[in-house]
Amino acid sequence: MKLDTLELLGHSSESVLGSNDRLELLLTTAHILVIDDEPMNLTLITGMLHFAGYRSVTTLRDARELEGRLQSGHPDLVILDLHMPHRDGFDVITALQPWIVAEHLPVLVVSGDISADARRRALALGARDFLTKPFDLTEMTLRVRNQLETRLLYQDVRKQNRALRETVHGRTVELEETRIEMLERLAMAAEYRDDNTSRHTERVGAVSAHLAAALGLHPDEARLIRRASALHDVGKIGIPDALLRKPSRLTDDEMAVMRTHTTIGASILGGSHALLLQLAEVIAISHHERWDGMGYPRKTAGADTPLVGRIVAVADAFDAVTNDRPYRRALSLRDGIGEMAAHRGTQFDASVVDALLRINSTLDHHTI
């Protein structure tokens, strides 16, 4: 069985999110494929998965048989060794890329290769996570569940997109609201992986709305920006946990992967007729652009970057420096304001930084 069976059963992750029923459905419907040339490893991993309650687990010792196995059905998660005879894990990830891209198929690499090059290469090819051998069984179980939860949420969003294309005009507004709610939950899931408090998006939305008001935008526009900006990092759902929670600064290769969250987010949010999601798409693709043109992904400069993107860029960076991150401690609000002012006119739009200085006294991350 596959996770799509949830739809046939009349269930969605929305209706059972956080419930025991949802976990039971996940355990009974998710299909996991384990690829490793070592029988002992296959026995260990499948035993751990069965002990955790997963009913549908299949194994493959010879990776050359992958395509034939896929003809009988696609898995919901692939657990993959890297170094195997005849066909290595890198080639397997490459072969799986059509499903990784089109179906958000998660690949969890489990390898004895601890080299940084192996990790970078696997993640760059499309693996969602990387675990080194010997591994902790509890950690393995949690990572497997996290990848399946993410895939389930992603499939719900795809289902909403499909329903939107097929529905009559009279139901468009209702379905868009449902899609917005699913995207907001997807954004919360992505944020929880990067911020244990899951309040980063909430704070960025509040500061963005204050900035919009200070810049003279209509209150309705400020409220819309507050809600849309909460989706700015939804693309991080496609970034491996190993990068999101890395306790040190990212390498250049890892940063290149991390930066794809902007285009992933815009892709997830795109194609909507709802003004909120259209605005959220613009924010997702533009909130890491810089005033001097040295940002990403499009390297737009000055006013070529939409105002909402420039607003959220300041709000996002301000929240980042004034809250703890895995690789550094938070600055005080006063020092955070100073940090923003130091990049006025280079990284950030001077008018937006000036607006931040004007609302300085109203900012309190405990009450936003």
As annotated, the active-site residues are: 236
Q: Give the sheet arrangement for strand 129-132, strand by strand.
A: 56-60, 31-35, 77-80, 107-111, 129-132
Return the closest-CA partner of residue 242 out of 254, 260, 256, 259.
Answer: 254
Amino acid at 164: L
Residue carrying structure tokens 């890491």: 288
DSSP SS3 for 2: coil
* CA–CA separation, 200 and 47 (whole Å): 38
Non-local CB neighbours of 19 within 8 Å, separated by 6+ positions: none
Long-range pairs of 183-187 with CB within 8 A, sequence gap ≥ 24: 183/157, 183/231, 183/234, 183/268, 183/269, 183/277, 183/280, 184/230, 184/231, 185/14, 185/17, 185/153, 186/153, 186/154, 186/157, 186/234, 186/237, 186/268, 187/230, 187/231, 187/233, 187/234, 187/237
* CA–CA separation, 354 and 77 (whole Å): 48
DSSP SS3 for 105: coil
Which H helix or E strand runs over 107? strand 107-111
CA distances (Å), origin 120, targets 136, 251, 258: 21, 9, 12
CA atoms within 13 A on the CB side of 312: 32
Return the closest-CA partner of residue 143 out of 198, 79, 191.
Answer: 79
Quick one: tokens of 356? 């931040």
DSSP code string of 255-312: HHHHHTHHHHHHHHH-S---HHHHHHHHHHHHTT--TTS--SSS---GGGS-HHHHHH
DSSP SS3 for 313: helix
